Amino acid sequence: MYCYTEPYLPGTCDIVADLIPLTVVLSVTSLCLASLLAGCAHGRNYVRKSDTDPGRTRFETYCAGCHLNEGPFMMGEAPPLEGSAWVAGPEQRVIKIVLHGLHGTIEVRGKTYNQEMPGFGPILTDADIASLLSYVRRRFGGVDTPIPEAAVSLIRATNRGRMEYWTADELLKAP
């Protein structure tokens, strides 16, 4: 009898000898399973899903803490985005809000809120804001048209000297 342990311990060779047939059975079973799975996969067309939507990632990072994103019945401190005319309305408004922030009273879905939302213009690029708002409008406003980076750049340049938050009244009066 051949023993796999050094130095020889009484009884260990019998255990090793008993494991060899089990190892062979498991190896053959694994090989058969791999062959079966390969056969099942043959001829299938796989579509690689793209990595997580960068707009969604930005939303979860910067917005979801206040604007909960789990549906219309989840009410956070901030106004809900789901079904909001502010989200589905003119893109210039939401771009201005994300760039410079918002304070004061705002009515959303029949309820008045009076809080502040910080602006993210100093920390997000135009591309970041465009992808973030495209996601928000698609997810919560039903708007499938993405916001172009150029639109964010134009509004940022037009309001370059602005240091204060927007108010709802200002945004409603602006073209």
**pLDDT class of 85 with cuts at 50, 70, 90:** very high
pLDDT (average), residues 131-151: 96
What's the pLDDT at 75? Answer: 60
**CB 168, CB 94: distance < 8 Å:** no
Q: What CATH superfamily classification does 54-173 receive?
A: Cytochrome c-like domain (1.10.760.10)
In the predicted structure, residue 46 carries a pLDDT above the cut 50 = no
In order of 122, 153, 163, the CA distances from 156 in angstroms are 10, 5, 12
What's the half-sphere exposure (Cβ side, CA atoms, 13 Å) at 128? 16
Percent of the chain clearing pLDDT 90 (strictly above): 55
- Please tell me the distance from the alpha carbon of residue 8 to that of residue 118, in angstroms, as a whole number: 73
**pLDDT class of 40 with cuts at 50, 70, 90:** very low
What's the pLDDT at 28? Answer: 55
What's the pLDDT at 68? Answer: 73
Residue at token pair 């206040």: 66
Crossing angle of helices 54-62/126-141, nearest 10°?
90
- Please tell me the distance from the alpha carbon of residue 81 to that of residue 42, in angstroms, as a whole number: 44
In the predicted structure, residue 9 carries a pLDDT above the cut 90 = no
What's the pLDDT at 156? Answer: 98
3-state SS string over the chain?
CCCCCCCCCCCHHHHHHHHHHHHHHHHHHHHHHHHHHHHHHCCCCCCCCCCCCHHHHHHHHHCCCCCCCCCCCCCCCCCCCCCCHHHHCCHHHHHHHHHHEEEEEEEECCEEEEEEEECCCCCCCHHHHHHHHHHHHHHHHCCCCCCCHHHHHHHHHHCCCCCCCECHHHHHHCC
Least confident of 33-42, 103-112, 125-134, 162-171: 33-42
* pLDDT, averaged across the chain: 80
**pLDDT class of 65 with cuts at 50, 70, 90:** confident
Question: Which residue ranges make up each domain of the chain?
Answer: 1-48, 54-173
Least confident of 46-50, 70-74, 81-85, 168-172: 46-50
**pLDDT class of 48 with cuts at 50, 70, 90:** very low
**CB 66, CB 113: distance < 8 Å:** no
pLDDT (average), residues 26-50: 49
